[in-house]
Amino acid sequence: MSDLQNLLEELNNVHSGTARKVELKEKTKKPTKEVVDDPIDIERREKVKEAMIHAWGSYETYAWGQDELQPQSKSGVNSFGGLGATLIDSLDTLYIMGLDEQFQKAREWVANSLDFNKDYEASVFETTIRVVGGLLSTYDLSGDKLFLDKARDIADRLLPAWNTPTGIPYNIINLSQGRAHNPGWTGGESILADSGTEQLEFIVLSQRTGDPKYQQKVENVITQLNKTFPDDGLLPIYINPHSGATGYSPITFGAMGDSFYEYLLKVWVQGNKTSAVKLYRDMWEKSMKGLLSLIRRSTPSSFTYICEKSGGSLTDKMDELACFAPGMLALGSSGYGPEDSQKFMSLAEELAWTCYNFYQSTPTKLAGENYFFHSGEDMSVGTSWNILRPETVESLFYLWRLTGNKTYQEWGWNIFQAFEKNSRIESGYVGLKDVNSGVKDNMMQSFFLAETLKYLYLLFSPSSVISLDEWVFNTEAHPLRIVTRDEGGNVKNTNEKQKPFPRLGGRKEGRSG
């Protein structure tokens, strides 16, 4: 009844022209008190939207249909085989921000020009999180079946990668020929993150199409890994796809490890936390026990950080990529009892402070790629480039949503201003070769539009916009609808239930031009 009432109210508001245009209003499962939209938030959200318009406009002008824009040379580059990576990565951001004209033009490109039949050696992981994830998210938001059909097309081309003796996938596949293999530099091994970060997308694809084959392939990987899953839940970054054995290789919450742990939690969230997905939560809780064993604090300032582990020894190094962990811990904390819940939320807040200081500690106020911790010296930047990464603002978004503490908005705003100051040029946004000197590179990464700007926009939006009760973000910040998994874990076609994401009074808020 209350859903019907809300719908009627919304319709009345739209017809009377009084609808608030800033909220992508959603039905929520439980009544939430209306968040009053703060004037400062509105102003900041507009600034972030303007940044998106600038980034997108530059891509449209100089690199349309190509994977990424090189802003300094005003040219496009096909870093992902010519699949329009920036365009597909940006679809849901454009949609959420209400940038209608840009979205429609991008949709036309997807309908008429997107072609996956490429003789290209694609990363299964990158193609899944950016392309499959981006298309599924846009389908979940818009209800437009074009995006689901395209997601299925590319997923079908990726599927042969799972045809290994264990079902643990090879990480590279030729999109037109279907030949899969692992990169030479891993010595034939599969990479943990690359093999364990397709579960969300492929489960959602099975739900939306009613075809169980996608879900079966990716869930088998978790079944295999669980057979020898250690008590501390920490896996080395290399796995043998023939035997399933994990050899001697580093353990990390940074590059090549990170999103495996993230997806253990998020598959549980996406399945609406039922017993059908309890295995994922159980594995994740083991991994969080392991994460606690990697926590150290710096001197003199007591910054909390996550070490990397090789063999029995810890290395005092943390990637900026590992700054997704505070957001993950905050999101997962509510599944614990009161005491553990508080413990993990406090750890999330401490780690977020460290990650914010990755930014604050450099002359440009932008973070380097990784940091080392030395006794008595706190943190020092290691690899000193910044490629417009989103992980810290992602965690600030979760902490703001889950604690209501406005400090996280302030930190996010400071980071956004540092991007504006150092990375914005007349033809787009660029990374920095060095966060100390501020020397610019020549690449606008697709995830800047997919993730960094989306999380910043949502950081200044009411919490009913992409409510965490209704949506879960993939590791490329593409929101996917939560669907309750039944106890048998069977796939039901959720397609008939797809309704477009309701928006009030059109999507004209602050449109430029």
Q: What is the pLDDT of residue 495?
A: 62
Q: Which segments in the chain show pLDDT lower than 70?
A: 1-35, 488-492, 494-513
- Whole-angstrom CA distances from 491 to 27, 265, 274, 388 are 24, 20, 14, 37
Q: Which helix (H) or strand (E) holds 282?
A: helix 278-292
Q: Which residues are catalytic?
A: 126, 258, 369, 391
Q: What is the pLDDT of residue 36?
A: 72
Assign 3-class secondary structure to 177-225.
CCCEECCHHHCCCEEHHHHCCCHHHHHHHHHHHCCCHHHHHHHHHHHHH
The residues near 123 (Cβ < 8 Å, ≥ 6 apart) are 80, 171, 172, 194
Q: What is the pLDDT of residue 492?
A: 67
Q: pLDDT for 457-470, tens place per residue?
A: 999 999 999 999 99
Q: pLDDT for 80-135, tens place per residue?
A: 999 999 999 999 999 999 999 999 999 999 999 999 999 999 999 999 999 999 99
The alpha helices in 369-460, defined as continuous H runs, are 391-403, 407-422, 446-447, 453-459
E strand intervals along 281-418: 295-297, 304-306, 308-310, 313-315, 317-319, 370-374, 378-381
Q: What is the pLDDT of residue 196?
A: 97
State if pTM tops 0.85. Answer: yes
